[in-house]
Amino acid sequence: MVYCSKCGTKNEEVAETCVKCGAKLIVQREENWEKRLENGAEEFGKRAEVWGENVDRFYPLFGTPQKNMIKKAKKSPQD
Helix (H) or strand (E) holding 10: strand 10-11
Same-domain check for residues 26 and 44: no
What is the pLDDT, as a whole number, of residue 2? 86
> What is the residue range of 26's domain?
1-30
Q: For residues 27 and 2, is the Cβ–Cβ distance under 8 A?
A: yes
Residues 63 and 44 in one domain: yes
Q: Please tell me the predicted confidence (pLDDT) of residue 36.
A: 84
**Cβ atoms of residues 21 and 4 within 8 Å:** yes
**pLDDT band at residue 46 using 50, 70 and 90 as cut-offs:** very high
- Same-domain pairing of 24 and 44: no
Residues 18 and 53 in one domain: no
Identify whether 70 is part of a domain: yes
Query: Looking at the structure, do residues 46 and 15 belong to the same domain, yes or no?
Result: no
Q: What is the per-residue pLDDT across 14-33, written as a single tens digit (0 to 9) for each?
A: 899 999 999 999 865 556 77
Residues 50 and 79 in one domain: yes
Asked if the structure places residue 35 within a domain, the reply is no
Q: Confidence class of residue 69 from pLDDT cuts 50, 70 and 90?
A: low
